[in-house]
Amino acid sequence: MNASRNYKRQANADFLAYMRRMGKAISVSSPTGLMRRFRCFVVETNWDHDLWGLEKWMDLFCWTVIAFSLLFLIPVTLSAFGK
């Protein structure tokens, strides 16, 4: 139970807070420091498992964007071919 709670807390933590908690606060003053911090984030967290949990919402968002773009593009296309 405690491990599950810790995992959820870690999954909800933002990038900088997680890195500080892990003791890996690296300066962002240079592009190298930013790349090193990003690499540590990718290697040491479960970001890919967190994305699988959001798959349903990402799918819904993508289909909504597609639907709104079709609603915009159909009249534009019909007016372009109608002239």
The answer on 62 and 26 residing in a single domain is no
Q: How confident is the model at residue 8 (pLDDT cuts 50, 70, 90)?
A: very low
pTM of the model: 0.45
Number of separate domains in the chain:
2
Q: Residue 12: which pLDDT band, with cuts at 50, 70 and 90?
A: very low
pLDDT of 13 strictly over 80: no
From residue 75, how far is each of 29, 30, 62 by CA, in Å? 49, 48, 21
The three-state (H, E, C) secondary structure of the chain, written as one string = CHHHHHHHHHHHCCHHHHHHHCCCCCCCCCHHHHHHHHHHHHHHCCHHHHHHHCHHHHHHHHHHHHHHHHHHHHHHHHHHHHC
Residues 5 and 40 in one domain: yes
For the stretch 20-71, pLDDT in tens is 666 655 555 566 777 888 888 888 888 788 888 889 999 999 999 999 999 9
Which domain, by its residues, includes 17?
1-45
Which tens digits make up the pLDDT trace of 59-69? 999 999 999 99
